[in-house]
Amino acid sequence: MVYFIGIDSSTTATKALLMNDQGKVVNVASSSYAYETPRPLWSEQDPNLWWHATIKSIQQVLTISDVDKEEIKGIGLTGQMHGLVLLDANGRILRPAILWNDQRTSAECDLMRKTKGKDNLIRITGNDALTGFTAPKILWVKKHEPYLFSRIAHVLLPKDFVRWKLTQAFAMDKAGGSGTQLFDIQKRDWSTDLIDQFGLNGHWFPQTFEGTAVTGQLTQHAADLTGLKKGTPVYAGGGDQAANGVGTGAVKEGIISLSLGTSGVIFASTDSPQIEENGRLHTFCHAVPGKWHTMGVMLSAAGSLRWYRDTFSPQDSFEQITKESESIKAGSDGLLFMPYLTGERTPHPDPLARASFIGATVQHTKAHFGRAILEGVAFGFRDILNLMKEAGMENVTQIRVSGGGAKSDCWRQIIADVLKTEVVSINTNEGAAFGTALLAAVGNGHFKSVDQASEQLIQITETVQPSSNQSAYDDYYQIYKELYPTLSSTFNALGKIHAS
């Protein structure tokens, strides 16, 4: 038997997934870690956490699977996008990585728009300047930490730090690279124009590769640490959302991937760049060679439910909370929830947006609040899907849902009703890790293409059709979509007071 490993370095854990060449997930191992929020709006992490967790997770998955290292023919990498890792000329880490959910760079985003013009930024990169992206983080370091800025020799993303530790090669996939906002989205490579205009050094940025390309081989040192074979090829893979798109079969137009994890993402593959003119959606290169993808990101999806459980009902399981929600009718008797616990990205790129319950009365119970969380997240997804349709996406035929929140029957039904589209589950819930293992298998020649591998390996296991609740949700959504415009000035004022 031949095997492939998918490594997923997320915000809270690194996962190692072992897949055989028939697409069966043999075993998964995961090692968790924390991240730091040393100041309001900040989010940082020590890059060595990802490397140590990678070693541990690979060791664990090999031990529990009883697989010979000679049978492992490739490693694919994925992980959190947009994070900034800075190394000096000797490969030393210059500072903690600034993560995707860090919101400190509003001023730098304004500077990018002023320097290049918002319309030009969107035209070149497919995106407006946003606090989560990599480019404004580099500009923040330039302004606030000039001594460290002067020592930069390499700029990497989190998974590409792991790649370097595995192979000693500086490389990046095109999907991840396009998420830095220093990419020319049409050319699928670095924009020397933007790099020069922002006062950066083009030598800092590594060569980029399509998702199925080999980027290096395992060194003897990495092989000794992990238990793998020296020379095992390491494939480019993709940013977590692009790899998740591969892992859920969202590799051709019409099939939408909806990720219901800590954050929430609606992801659609496209054959050419589809750019929303105001930059409210993200357009990036896909991990599938020669394709692109459009996506919208909600910063607190299942994270909203976790916050609610941990804060107000720690004695309850997630399953209990969602089960209780089934007893409440659609619309939670007029209770609405805005899921902006960590600011928002799509459709409101506002780091100061705040979560709110609207419409509470003495008649509302704990179960009402739980269901309002589920519905508010679904309304946020509807905001994103509506934007995609306005940008020209047609014939959305199916939504493939994944992530921890997708385990809830109640939540899947609410999403189908609010989005008025068939929602399906598939035979793997490992998403990005599975997707990057699949990319490695394609790169190794076990499948002719990503499309072929997807059609052969990914099967639908459950289907949820929209119910009669669609009409009720239409009425509530009309109110929901007016809440942010009404309250945005209040959020801004509160945020400024808190930050000061």
Torsion angles phi and psi, residue 281, rounded to 5: -110, 165
Tell me the Ramachandran region of residue 168: left when phi exceeds 0, alpha when psi lies from -120 to 50, beta otherwise: left
Are the C-beta atoms of residues 47 and 158 closer than 8 Å to each other?
A: yes
DSSP conformation class of 448: S
- State yes or no: is 240 an active-site residue: yes
Query: Which residues, including other chains, have CB under 8 Å from residue 305's CB and lie 6 or more apart?
Result: 318, 321, 322, 370, 373, 374, 377, 405
Are the C-beta atoms of residues 167 and 230 closer than 8 Å to each other?
A: no
Let me know if 34 is exposed, middle or buried by CB neighbors in 10 A (0-12, 13-18, 19+).
exposed
Name the β-bridge partners of 408: none
| DSSP class per residue in 247-276 | HHT--STTEEEEEESSSEEEEEEESS----
DSSP conformation class of 287: S
Picking from 398, 313, 310, 351, the residue whose alpha carbon sits closest to that of residue 492 is 351
Helix (H) or strand (E) holding 178: helix 174-178
Are the C-beta atoms of residues 54 and 7 closer than 8 Å to each other?
A: yes
Helix axes 409-419, 470-499, angle to 10 degrees: 100
CA distance 288 to 203: 26
Among residues 240, 350, 383, 417, the one annotated as catalytic is 240
Are the C-beta atoms of residues 274 and 294 closer than 8 Å to each other?
A: yes
DSSP conformation class of 332: G
CA distance 427 to 110: 44
Looking at the annotation, which residues are catalytic? 240
